[in-house]
Chain A
Amino acid sequence: MSKQVWPYLIHHGGKAAPFKSLPVQEEMMTKYSNLSLESHNISVTAAPFTSLPVQEEMMTKSSNLSLESHSISMTAAPFTSLPVQEEMMTKSSNLSLESHSISMTEHSNMPVEKNITLERPSNVELICQFTPSGDLNSVNVTWKKGDKLLEGNYLVNATGGILYTQHRVAVINSKQMGSYSCFFGEKKQQRGTFNLKVPEINGQNKPLITYLGDSVVLMCKCQDCLPLNWTWYGGNGSVQVPIGVPVNDKYVISGKHANETRLKITQLSEDDQGTYLCHAIFELGESEGHVKLVVLSYLVPLKVFCAIAAEVVLLVAAILLFEMYTQKKKKPSDDGKEFEQGEQLKLDDSNGIENSGPRHRKNESVGQ
Chain B
Amino acid sequence: MAYRAEPPDGGWGWMVVLSAFFQSALVFGVLRSFGVFFVEFVAAFEEPAARVSWIASIGIAVQQFGSPVGSALSTKFGPRPAVMTGGILTALGMLLASFATSLTHLYLSIGLLSGSGWALTFTPTLACLSRYFSRRRSLAMGLALTGVGLSSFAFAPLFQWLLNHYAWRGALLLVSALSLHLVACGALLRPLSLAEDPVVGGPGAQITSLLRHGPFLRYTVALTLINTGYFIPYVHLVAHLRDLGWDPLPAAFLLSVAAISDLVGRVASGWLGDAVPGPVARLLMLWTTLTGVILALYPVAEAPTGLVALTMAYGFTSGALTPVAFSVLPELVGTGKIYCGLGLVQMVESIGGLLGAPLSGKGNKISRWAMAAVFYHGGCRGELI
Interface residues of A in 217-245 (CB under 8 A from B): none
Q: Of the candidates B10, B173, B190, which one forms a contact with A348 in the assembled complex, judged by CB atoms under 8 Å apart? A: B10
Are B4 and A341 interface neighbours, CB within 8 A?
Answer: yes
Tell me, in angstroms, the Cα distance from A135 to B30 when the chains sit together: 71
Are A368 and B170 interface neighbours, CB within 8 A?
Answer: no
Are A308 and B180 interface neighbours, CB within 8 A?
Answer: yes
Look across to chain A and name the residue whose beta carbon is closest to the beta carbon of B136.
A358
Interface residues of B in 331-361 (CB under 8 A from A): 331-334
Are B167 and A357 interface neighbours, CB within 8 A?
Answer: no
A365-B184 contact in complex given A206-B164, A354-B135, C-beta closer than 8 Å = no
Task: Give min CB distance, A210 to chain B, whole Å.
Answer: 6
Task: Give min CB distance, A298 to chain B, whole Å.
Answer: 8
Look across to chain A and name the residue whose beta carbon is closest to the beta carbon of B333.
A365
- Fill in one digit per residue for A298-337: 1 if any B CB lies within 8 Å of its CB, else 0: 1011101100110010011001100100000000001001
Q: Say if the beta carbon of A296 comes within 8 Å of chain B.
A: yes
Measured between beta carbons, the chain B residues less than 8 angstroms from A364 are 279, 331
A296-B279 contact in complex given A301-B173, A305-B174, A323-B190, C-beta closer than 8 Å = no
Q: Say if the beta carbon of A251 comes within 8 Å of chain B.
A: no
Look across to chain A and name the residue whose beta carbon is closest to the beta carbon of B196.
A366
Tell me, in angstroms, the Cα distance from A107 to B27 when the chains sit together: 63
- Fill in one digit per residue for A256-296: 1 if any B CB lies within 8 Å of its CB, else 0: 00000000000000000000000000000000000000001
Q: Say if the beta carbon of B169 comes within 8 Å of chain A.
A: yes
Task: Give min CB distance, B19 to chain A, whole Å.
Answer: 10
Q: Say if the beta carbon of B187 comes within 8 Å of chain A.
A: yes
Tell me, in angstroms, the Cα distance from A302 to B170 when the chains sit together: 8
Are B170 and A319 interface neighbours, CB within 8 A?
Answer: no
Measured between beta carbons, the chain B residues less than 8 angstroms from A210 are 167
Measured between beta carbons, the chain A residues less than 8 angstroms from B330 are 365
Q: Say if the beta carbon of B207 comes within 8 Å of chain A.
A: no
Interface residues of B in 1-26 (CB under 8 A from A): 2, 4-6, 8-11
Tell me, in angstroms, the Cα distance from A345 to B134 when the chains sit together: 13
Measured between beta carbons, the chain B residues less than 8 angstroms from A304 are 173-174, 177
Are B134 and A362 interface neighbours, CB within 8 A?
Answer: yes
A305-B177 contact in complex given A209-B166, A315-B184, A364-B279, C-beta closer than 8 Å = yes
Tell me, in angstroms, the Cα distance from A312 to B2 when the chains sit together: 31
Are B134 and A361 interface neighbours, CB within 8 A?
Answer: yes
- Total residue contacts A-B, CB cutoff 8 A: 94
Q: Say if the beta carbon of A211 comes within 8 Å of chain B.
A: yes
Are A309 and B135 interface neighbours, CB within 8 A?
Answer: no
Q: Say if the beta carbon of B183 comes within 8 Å of chain A.
A: yes
Q: Say if the beta carbon of B178 comes within 8 Å of chain A.
A: yes
Are A296 and B190 interface neighbours, CB within 8 A?
Answer: no
Task: Give min CB distance, A321 to chain B, whole Å.
Answer: 10
- Fill in one digit per residue for B158-175: 1 if any A CB lies within 8 Å of its CB, else 0: 000000111101110110
Residue count of chain A within 8 Å CB distance of chain B = 39
Are A319 and B184 interface neighbours, CB within 8 A?
Answer: yes
A348-B9 contact in complex given A309-B177, A309-B180, C-beta closer than 8 Å = yes
Task: Give min CB distance, A223 to chain B, whole Å.
Answer: 19
A305-B2 contact in complex given A312-B184, A357-B277, C-beta closer than 8 Å = no
Are A302 and B331 interface neighbours, CB within 8 A?
Answer: no
Task: Give min CB distance, B14 to chain A, whole Å.
Answer: 14
Look across to chain B and name the residue whose beta carbon is closest to the beta carbon of A337.
B2
A300-B170 contact in complex given A337-B2, A361-B331, C-beta closer than 8 Å = yes
Look across to chain A and name the residue whose beta carbon is closest to the beta carbon of B188.
A319
Are A345 and B5 interface neighbours, CB within 8 A?
Answer: yes
Interface residues on B, range: 35 or more
Measured between beta carbons, the chain A residues less than 8 angstroms from B169 are 211, 214, 301
Interface residues of B in 108-128 (CB under 8 A from A): none
Task: Give min CB distance, A219 to chain B, whole Å.
Answer: 9
Task: Give min CB distance, B58 to chain A, whole Å.
Answer: 24
Q: Say if the beta carbon of A117 comes within 8 Å of chain B.
A: no
- Fill in one digit per residue for B362-384: 1 if any A CB lies within 8 Å of its CB, else 0: 00000000000000000000000
Interface residues of B in 250-292 (CB under 8 A from A): 277, 279-280
Of B178, B331, B333, chain A has the most CB atoms within 10 Å of the CB of B331
Measured between beta carbons, the chain A residues less than 8 angstroms from B187 are 315-316, 319-320
Task: Give min CB distance, B79 to chain A, whole Å.
Answer: 14
Measured between beta carbons, the chain A residues less than 8 angstroms from B180 are 308-309, 312
Measured between beta carbons, the chain A residues less than 8 angstroms from B35 are none
Task: Give min CB distance, B136 to chain A, whole Å.
Answer: 9
Q: Say if the beta carbon of B181 comes within 8 Å of chain A.
A: yes
Q: Say if the beta carbon of A338 comes within 8 Å of chain B.
A: yes
Task: Give min CB distance, B269 to chain A, whole Å.
Answer: 17
Q: Say if the beta carbon of A355 comes within 8 Å of chain B.
A: yes
Task: Give min CB distance, B262 to chain A, whole Å.
Answer: 26
Are B332 and A209 interface neighbours, CB within 8 A?
Answer: no
Q: Say if the beta carbon of B176 comes within 8 Å of chain A.
A: yes
Task: Give min CB distance, B126 to chain A, whole Å.
Answer: 18
Of B135, B171, B279, B331, chain A has the most CB atoms within 10 Å of the CB of B135
Measured between beta carbons, the chain B residues less than 8 angstroms from A319 are 184, 187-188
Q: Say if the beta carbon of B202 comes within 8 Å of chain A.
A: no
Task: Give min CB distance, B302 to chain A, whole Å.
Answer: 34
Tell me, in angstroms, the Cα distance from A304 to B238 when the chains sit together: 37
Measured between beta carbons, the chain B residues less than 8 angstroms from A206 are 164
Task: Give min CB distance, B1 to chain A, whole Å.
Answer: 9
Of B2, B177, B181, B190, chain A has the most CB atoms within 10 Å of the CB of B177
Measured between beta carbons, the chain A residues less than 8 angstroms from B183 are 312, 316
Interface residues of B in 133-171 (CB under 8 A from A): 134-135, 164-167, 169-171
Q: Say if the beta carbon of B215 comes within 8 Å of chain A.
A: yes
Tell me, in angstroms, the Cα distance from A96 to B256 when the chains sit together: 49
Tell me, in angstroms, the Cα distance from A84 to B267 when the chains sit together: 80
Measured between beta carbons, the chain B residues less than 8 angstroms from A355 are 135
A308-B174 contact in complex given A319-B187, A345-B6, C-beta closer than 8 Å = yes
Look across to chain A and name the residue whose beta carbon is closest to the beta carbon of B133.
A358
Tell me, in angstroms, the Cα distance from A354 to B9 when the chains sit together: 12
Across the A-B interface, the 10 shortest Cβ-Cβ residue pairs = A301-B170, A308-B177, A209-B167, A315-B184, A319-B187, A312-B180, A358-B134, A358-B135, A305-B177, A316-B187
Give 5 new A-B contacts, CB below 8 A, not counting A312-B183, A319-B188, A365-B333.
Answer: A302-B173, A304-B177, A344-B11, A348-B10, A355-B135
| 26 intermolecular pairs with C-beta atoms under 8 Å apart | A209-B165, A210-B167, A211-B167, A296-B170, A301-B166, A301-B170, A304-B174, A304-B177, A305-B176, A308-B177, A312-B184, A316-B84, A334-B2, A338-B2, A341-B2, A344-B11, A345-B5, A348-B8, A348-B9, A348-B10, A354-B135, A358-B6, A361-B134, A365-B331, A365-B332, A366-B334
